[in-house]
Amino acid sequence: MLSTAFALFCFLLAADCLETHVHGDLFVPDAILRISAQNISIGGIQRYTTLVNGSVPGPELRVSEGKVVWIRVYNDMTDRNTTMHWHGLAQAASPFSDGTPLASQWPIPPQHFFDYELQIPNDTAGTYFYHSHVGFQSVSASGSLIVEDRSNPPYKYDDERTITLQELFNLTDVDVEQRITADPLLWFGENNGFLVNGKTISDYGVIDNSTATLAVIEVDPGKTYRLRFIAATALSYTSFAFESHDGLEVIEADGHYTKPLSTDLMQMGSGQRFSVLLKTKSCDELEQSGRLDYYLQVETRERSAVATNYALLRYRDTCNLPESSVHHLPTDSYPSKKPIDLPPTISGFLDYQLQPLVPNNFPTTSQVTRRIVLNVQQFEDGYYVWRDSNVSWSDASIDSRRYTTPATPYLVSLYTNQTAYLPKYDAAIANGGVDPTTQTFPAKLGEVLEIVLQNIGSISKTNVTPGLLETHPWHAHGGHYYDLGGGPGAWSSEAMEARLQGTLPVLRDTTMLFRYNEATQPDVKSGWRAWRLRVQNPGVWMIHCHWLQHMIQGMQTVWVFGDAGDILKVPRREVEGFLTFGGDVYGNGTHVPERVHFSEGG
Ligand code: C2O
Ligand code: CU
């Protein structure tokens, strides 16, 4: 085997090269995910959409800190490419496993499979999710991914529940993609409700009662539960709370434990995860209230209409309460009146309040080596695009006048040394951080970047909503950033430093750029968020808004951390199979891929 010879070569030279080996047809992956497109009954409606292992959400995956796991992803669709992304986990050690099409890998062609190698670093225990990174597929093609603690978690709880929030649209994924990229834009409609663990009663008009049902989250009295909330949503900011269960204690945000922080309601944007501790009622309290069921009420925020949906927190009656004294709520209908009065959006929700549980090596202002301002703005010219510092990047490369996406994934271009896509650091520095030729944001290992996201009123040539502002969940691949919070108006370092006084930023991977106002004038700065990032993990990483519609409309950026020497750890001959669309590392019915292992012993 080439790899054995290579390992020996490395050993003899004591060279700093990665040892690799390959797997063949006897290889057994740790988990198998199959992506298909099917017509399903969900929330009482029929919807043709993308599924993982036939369900919405897909199965929960549980992995351990410090381990290497192999997940085989089959693309069972016949007409669409796909990928899988492991949201919140940096695939630093296995560079082709991040699941970003046209950035870190060629997408998996129809009727092919790809083996993802995930290295789960220590100190990453927490709540994550996996999702397709192609088009609108992840509206339904996603599932929870839990990294379990090696030892006892720092908080005590009796049990845990995963609560995944998704949205329900009634158009097909392809319809949505085509409508939002049409010229002129064709409206795709607002979400018509949230799915809680895949369940809801649709407001689109129920035709199948058997699936029009509320999710039930079962608990026992007198216990402490860790609730893991995952916002696997598409376009709607979400506000939610439990009926007569106040004082949720936030203990984790995006895979990092926090000091406990009490809140009565949650707000979440797509891609965010939080764990909270919920103390359940005692037998006495249940008897007093006369109920074993309580609503979880979920509402849209920051959209033109408010959708309201429910799930049930249901107590198992381990108290043996007299049957006449307690009752259940129906799972096949909504309450006639909203049980909770959820407030309007709290701009800056939990900002400057969350604190890390353990010191996290926050870089001081003087350690910052470079600042990059991403001006986030919508541009309308019949078609709609989002521009970040004038870059409009989408894997929906329909029309080159809109998007700057290359024809080849950047990581592949790096390996094949296609100069057109090799980022030029100096050119980028001279151009506000983005290399004008490759449209990437290069950074050197060891840099400490301050990234400012600046909301700017939209420009319209077609006279549609000029000055429009939206709220965006911004997500970074390739490592967590220190979240510096945000504020209204134009960013200034004085305003930011003043807000930071006496606070301890937490490490996050998805935080909200709020709009603070619904609209302003075109080109006026309104609302900012800032991050600090230690550039540590070499690779090709995306930083993007996590609203799926906005991603398709170009609200994505590609960053290249490290130079070719840092990124290309494995010699080209070992990765040849990654370098062409449908190349040797993509298996199919007749071909078993020989796959390089980037990890030792994996
Ligand atoms: Cu969950 Cu690039 O995203
Ligand atoms: Cu957005």
DSSP secondary structure, 534-587, as one string:
E--S-EEEEEEE--HHHHHTT-EEEEEES-HHHH--S-HHHHGGGSSTT-TTSB
Residues 274 and 252: beta-carbon distance below 8 Å: yes
> Cis omega (within 30 of 0) on the bond before 184?
yes
Q: What is the pLDDT of residue 15?
A: 37
Name 47's Cβ contacts closer than 8 Å, sequence gap at least 6: 39, 40, 140, 168, 169, 170, 172
Query: Token pair for residue 322?
Result: 């007299």
For the segment 54-82, what is each residue's pLDDT rounded down to a tens digit? 999 999 999 999 999 999 999 999 999 99
Q: What is the pLDDT of residue 419?
A: 75
| Nearest CA among 320, 393, 355 for reference residue 102 | 393
Q: How confident is the model at residue 18 (pLDDT cuts 50, 70, 90)?
A: low
Q: What is the pLDDT of residue 9?
A: 38
Question: Could you give the C-alpha distances from 267 to 80, 122, 247, 344, 457, in angstroms and in order?
Answer: 33, 28, 14, 10, 24
For the segment 206-227, what is each residue's pLDDT rounded down to a tens digit? 999 999 999 999 999 999 999 9
Query: What CA–CA distance (Å, rounded) separates 128 from 510?
Result: 11
CA 457–ligand 2 middle distance (angstroms): 13
CA 479–ligand 1 middle distance (angstroms): 12
Residue closest via CA to ligand 1's atom 1 equals 87
Residues 535 and 443: beta-carbon distance below 8 Å: yes
Closest ligand, as measured to the CA of 544: 1
Q: What is the pLDDT of residue 20?
A: 62
CA 165–ligand 2 middle distance (angstroms): 18
Q: What is the mean pLDDT of residues 552-561?
A: 96
Give the distance, in angstroms, between the CA of residue 524 and the centroid of all CA atoms in the same chain.
29
Q: What is the mean pLDDT of residues 337-346?
A: 98
CA dihedral 420, 425, 428, 434 (to 10 degrees): 70
Name 330's Cβ contacts closer than 8 Å, sequence gap at least 6: none
Taking CB atoms within 8 Å and a gap of at least 24, the contacts of 331-338 are 331/213, 331/214, 331/216, 332/201, 332/209, 332/212, 332/213, 332/214, 333/201, 334/201, 334/308, 334/310, 335/295, 335/310, 338/297, 338/308
CA 81–ligand 1 middle distance (angstroms): 17
Q: What is the pLDDT of residue 289?
A: 95
For the segment 139-171, what is each residue's pLDDT rounded down to a tens digit? 999 999 999 999 999 999 999 999 999 999 999
Atom of ligand 1 at shortest range from CA of 138: 1
3-state secondary structure of 335: coil
Q: What is the pLDDT of residue 147?
A: 98
**Residues surrounding ion ligand 2 at CB below 5 Å:** 472, 545, 547, 550, 555
Query: What CA–CA distance (Å, rounded) separates 539 from 443?
Result: 10
Q: What is the pLDDT of residue 383?
A: 85
Residues 273 and 147: beta-carbon distance below 8 Å: no
In the chain the first and final C-alpha atoms are separated, in Å, by 17
- Is the pLDDT score of 467 beyond 60? yes
For the segment 272-305, what is each residue's pLDDT rounded down to a tens digit? 999 999 999 999 999 999 999 999 999 999 999 9
Query: Token pair for residue 222?
Result: 């007198």
Domains of the chain in sequence order: 16-149+576-602 (2.60.40.420), 152-346 (2.60.40.420), 365-567 (2.60.40.420)
For the segment 564-587, what is each residue's pLDDT rounded down to a tens digit? 889 998 889 889 999 999 999 999
User: What are residue 428's phi and psi, to 5 degrees?
Assistant: -65, -45
- Is the pLDDT score of 595 beyond 80? yes
For the segment 359-393, what is each residue's pLDDT rounded down to a tens digit? 999 999 999 999 999 999 999 988 899 999 999 99
Within 10 angstroms of residue 59's Cβ, the number of other Cβ atoms is 15
- Is the pLDDT score of 34 beyond 70? yes
CA 233–ligand 1 middle distance (angstroms): 11
Residues flanking ligand 1, CB < 6 Å: 85, 87, 131, 133, 271, 475, 477, 542, 544, 546
Full strand arrangement of the beta sheet holding 510-513: 440-443, 556-561, 539-545, 472-476, 510-513
Residues 264 and 246: beta-carbon distance below 8 Å: yes
Closest ligand, as measured to the CA of 145: 1
Query: Token pair for residue 529?
Result: 């968020």
Q: What is the mean pLDDT of residues 20-47?
A: 91
Residue closest via CA to ligand 1's atom 3 equals 87
Query: How large is the C-alpha radius of gyration of the chain?
Result: 24
Q: Provide the greatest CA pair distance for the chain.
A: 80
State the DSSP H helix or E strand holding residue 2, giving kind and residue range, or none if neither. Answer: helix 2-13
Question: Could you give the C-alpha distances from 41 to 38, 49, 174, 198, 315, in angstroms and in order?
Answer: 10, 10, 18, 11, 28
Query: What CA–CA distance (Å, rounded) separates 472 from 54?
Result: 30
